[in-house]
Amino acid sequence: MEGWVREILRCPGCGSPLRDGRRPDGEPELVCTGETCALAYPVRDGIPVLLVDEAYPSGGTV
């Protein structure tokens, strides 16, 4: 993903920046850097799905 895109993306839950991650199954994800939030958002067909309803706890427990 382009850097400038990631810079403007924020977690809809807490407003923290997101970092690139990768799920255990190899799919990309965006992980919230907020310590109290730490949700991960899926990336489908290269498009980040920044919906709290679609988020799941980060840390490999998909």
Per CB under 5 A, 28 contacts Zn ion:
no
Q: How many Å is the Cα radius of gyration of the chain?
A: 10
Q: What are phi and psi of 3, to 5 degrees?
A: -60, -40
Of the candidate spans 1-9, 28-36, 41-49, 53-61, the one that interacts with Zn ion by CB under 5 A turns out to be 28-36
CB 30 within 8 Å of CB 18: yes
> Which region, judged by CB under 5 A, interacts with Zn ion, from 4-12, 19-27, 43-51, 53-61?
4-12
Footprint on this chain of Zn ion (rule: CB under 5 A): 11, 13-14, 16, 32, 34, 37
